[in-house]
Structure 1
Amino acid sequence: MDYKNILKLISENLYCGIFIVDNEGRVIFYNQSINDLAGLNVENAVGKHMLEIFPKLTEETSTILRTLKTGEGLKNYVQNYYNYQDKRVTILSSTVPIYEDGHLVGVVEIFSDVDKYNNMNQTKSSKGFMENTVYTLNDIIGNSKEKKELKEKIKKTANSNSPVLVYGETGTGKELVVQCLHSESTRRNKPFIAQNCAAIPSTLFESILFGTALGSFTGAKDSKGLIESAEGGTLFLDEINSMDITLQAKLLRFLQEGHIRRLGENKSHEVDVRVIAALNEDPYEAIEAGTLRKDLFYRLSVINFSLPPLRENKKDIIEISNYFLEFFNSKLNKNIKGFSDEVLEFFKSYDWPGNVRELKHSIEYAVNITESNTISKSDLPDYFKLKNKKTNADVKMTDDLLTDDSSSLLTLSEQVGQFERKVIINALKQYDCNISKTSKKLGLPRQTLYYKMDKLNIKMDKTLD
């Protein structure tokens, strides 16, 4: 029996595509089913490098080249790309490294056409995967030193049972990191339960978190709480500083002992769950404000992730923007090729107070609104123009301060102090008296900002005058 011919016969009659490259990324084999998807034929594919065939891909966005680089496979990965004939396609793929004697010699990728299955009404499971998938490390976009260090830290700490605290401004990707910690761990096939602490009234939170025993109050039934429901898996408590201080003490007790007692129950029992918490402000500031217990902070932050705002880490902003463009091209059935140079420069100069979430929603708006195949600055949300007007007004105010006749009666030191006071007050107003955000905006340590506020007689009240 000729097994080589049998394998060839099987590969040519499969509905899924098979693509194989060598260790340099050059195509050595693909089957017939790949023709429609990739827009290829044997003459213009075999022997060519992946980036010659798919020029819009990069070493980061190509699953095959990424696997060649890392030696790690990918399973059930949804991706969108433009094929050799510049047609946008959506595929569900699995990418597997090929080893010989311990050396990586190539990669095989097997994939199916999601759009084709949708048309045949056969993609219930594929759609379920795309809509409900937990984030993985592949969803952390960027190749900067900081992103690589973040991914490495997630890998190192994913299998620990220690609590985790993630903090960063709104829109910096806290839940992305949390879900990656779960999906990279041995708990990945167990429950992942996320709860925003600000969304539950404090009077109900204890019963929701710890569960209830029959008869503990009128109408109460035996019911599992969030902690028990996450047995064997991960419980994510977002905005932990919104949880009532008294309840924080009870959560701390569970973290220390690993046992819970349902509301109205006399006995306690052990629960195996990893707790990850997050907050969108400096934890020390939350402690000072009395919204986070210091002892709970120390227990949660055995492992901690501090996520920088986008304005402080713009190295990956172009790659992230292109990722979101492809995402919304697929979601909104568009075929937009890219961004104008003016838009890319604007993205790199803008301070992004809403961080990656603001960038994502801005691109979604632009993809919806544009009538061109390239996004221009006129396609961006209107509030960017309003913010630009405000910036110009601030510049004019600064100029007015410098040319104010009354300042001529003051010494240089007094004029500098007056100007510095106005700058600090404006920054405090912009960030609603949030010291952490204001200090970052001004490029000052928090202690220095407090010192200057005291020296310049700036009081933390609503008037700020």
Structure 2
Amino acid sequence: MPVDAKKLIVFEKLMEEIDVGVHAIDAAGRTIIYNEKISEIENMKPAEVLNKPVGELFEFSEGQGSTLQKALKEGHESRNVKQTYLNNKGLEITAIHNTFPVRYEGEIIGALEVTKDITRLEKLVQENMKNGSRRYNFHDMIGVSAGMQEVVDHAKRATRTTSSVLITGETGTGKELFAQSIHNGSARSSGPFISQNCAALPESLIEGILFGTKKGAFTGAENRPGLFEQAGGGTLLLDEINSLPPDLQSKLLRVIQEKSVRRVGDTEEREIDIRLLATINEDPVDAVTHGRLRKDLYYRLSVVSLFIPPLRERMEDLEPLCRHFINKYNDLFQLEVKALSPEVKNLFYDYHWPGNVREVEHVIEGSMNLVTAEDRIETSHLPLQLRRRLSVSQPAESAVPEKEELPHLKDFLHEKEKVFVQQALKRFDYRVQETADALGLSRQSLQYRMKKLGISKIRI
């Protein structure tokens, strides 16, 4: 093989493997080299670019032309130049360019550009900034199921008053989204919205964080308002209220009843004007029964009660949720994923989603990190635990499974409880009070369980 042919093979292999984009044009401004990496960065296939003028392929903002064309026409060399421009599909690209004219015997015969991709980094920074100040409203709610529509309707009604609201739902169901929507739909929307996860507060500091401190109350204490004062004129959300210690729950109840707060170490009572929202990730009746939530505090907080059903009980919402998150990460990652493959869709509908909507988002995001040029999410893109589940639930025809797959304990108990409660209701002709007495439950606890289990109340 001639030496020149060998060099060409080595050059082509180099262009495939290097982790930077390479774009070269000839003296006429037409593309002669467009490697794999630059194709990935600019989301354009080589066939769309090769042998075409650069000016016809990309759109630059006014006053900022192509660095390649500038190098060709003016012999200008530039290093580490950040540019944002549009490709032939209108997608925005942000990259760092190193651009050089190519000379032969003193004459410019072309130009070469080496590119590093920072589009995704830019998108991530912008997304984080946007999320830091994001204010959710009811139009951000995604759900077509009757259960979801019902809780949204009740939440919208709650915007008309200043009553306390207790939002119940499993982790990942979107409790804070509901809380923000209630605040932003109310007359207090121009006031502050302050959210605090009670489970994340150290017990030794929690009282001062909530109620404020007076200078000298303890070593290092300063005059500092607590969350109740900071939320004045607006809304305070206490997330995972059942994580508060009992003595703090007692003080919280006093603050709610008296509408005033006393800073730690102080004797002065300060009036507060807030709307209090709280969330809990378990059955509040169970939390009261087991001493994790004071009964009097529960009654005070649950003037309005919202129960967000878990995703497994409203699977008709799964497809619109997936579509929403695919669109979100298409924008963020500069991808063009259109859908889930049929195999992935079947797997998703078989899965019980213990992490609810938050888990759906994480699975979609993780999968799309593995997508390259595909236009749909395949099983090979899924996280390992879901791929394993697929291999168990859909074995090859020739394979004989060693053991039948065990149901998840949570699903098994849910179904058994539903059957048991339905049988008890049927026995007492669906009279709720009589059924509750027979089961050793309060009427309210039985009604809560019926709602959670998806059992319709025929008689009262």
TM tier relative to shorter chain = 0.5 to 0.7
Give distance in 1, aligned partners of 2:184 and 2:345: 33
Unaligned runs of 5+ residues in structure 2 are 1-58, 60-87, 94-118, 396-400, 425-437, 440-460
Native 8 Å contact 2:311 2:356 kept in 1: yes
Native 8 Å contact 1:328 1:367 kept in 2: yes
Question: Rg larger in 1 or in 2?
Answer: 2
Q: Which residue of 1 aligns with 2:7?
A: none
Native 8 Å contact 2:151 2:308 kept in 1: no
1:370-403 deviations in whole A, cap 9, x for unaligned? 231111122111111334567799x96669xxxx
Q: Which residue of 376, 379, 387 corresponds with 1:377?
A: 379
Partner-residue secondary structure (3-state), 2:205 = helix
Q: TM-score, normalised by structure 1?
A: 0.59
Give distance in 1, aligned partners of 2:412 and 2:289: 16
Give distance in 2, aligned partners of 1:302 and 1:184: 18
Give distance in 2, aligned partners of 1:88 and 1:326: 14
Q: Which residue of 1 aligns with 2:303?
A: 302
Q: Which residue of 2 aligns with 1:442?
A: 416
Give distance in 2, aligned partners of 1:89 and 1:142: 31
State the identity %.
39
Q: Kindly tell me: are residues 256 and 310 of structure 1, through their superposed partners in 2, closer, same or farther at Cα, counting changes over 3 Å?
A: same
AA partner of residue 255 (structure 1): I
Native 8 Å contact 1:187 1:232 kept in 2: yes
Q: Give 1:128 shift.
A: 5.2
Partner-residue secondary structure (3-state), 1:193 = strand
Please give the residue correspondences for 1:2-401 in structure 2 after superposition, counting only pairs within 5 Å: 129=130, 131-371=132-372, 372-387=374-389
Q: Kindly tell me: are residues 129 and 445 of structure 1, through their superposed partners in 2, closer, same or farther at Cα, counting changes over 3 Å?
A: same
1:399-456 deviations in whole A, cap 9, x for unaligned? 9xxxxxxxxxxxxxxxxxxxxxxx9xx86xx45xxxxx8742534378799x99xxxx
Partner-residue secondary structure (3-state), 1:142 = coil
1:278-328 deviations in whole A, cap 9, x for unaligned? 111111111222111111111111101111110100112111100000001
Q: Kindly tell me: are residues 127 and 379 of structure 1, through their superposed partners in 2, closer, same or farther at Cα, counting changes over 3 Å?
A: closer
Native 8 Å contact 2:311 2:317 kept in 1: no
Q: Kindly tell me: are residues 188 and 396 of structure 1, through their superposed partners in 2, closer, same or farther at Cα, counting changes over 3 Å?
A: farther
Q: Kindly tell me: are residues 197 and 347 of structure 1, through their superposed partners in 2, closer, same or farther at Cα, counting changes over 3 Å?
A: same
Q: CA RMSD in A?
A: 3.4
Q: Kindly tell me: are residues 170 and 268 of structure 1, through their superposed partners in 2, closer, same or farther at Cα, counting changes over 3 Å?
A: same
Partner-residue secondary structure (3-state), 2:237 = strand
Deviates more, 1:193-202 or 1:384-393: 384-393
Q: Give 1:142 shift.
A: 2.4
Give distance in 2, aligned partners of 1:128 and 1:159: 31
Deviates more, 1:139-148 or 1:335-344: 139-148
**How many residues of Structure 1 are paired with residues of Structure 2 in the alignment?**
306
Native 8 Å contact 2:330 2:336 kept in 1: yes
Unaligned runs of 5+ residues in structure 1 are 1-35, 37-84, 91-117, 400-422, 432-436, 453-465
Q: Kindly tell me: are residues 323 and 398 of structure 1, through their superposed partners in 2, closer, same or farther at Cα, counting changes over 3 Å?
A: closer
Partner-residue secondary structure (3-state), 1:336 = coil
Give distance in 1, aligned partners of 2:171 and 2:419: 21
Q: Kindly tell me: are residues 272 and 445 of structure 1, through their superposed partners in 2, closer, same or farther at Cα, counting changes over 3 Å?
A: farther
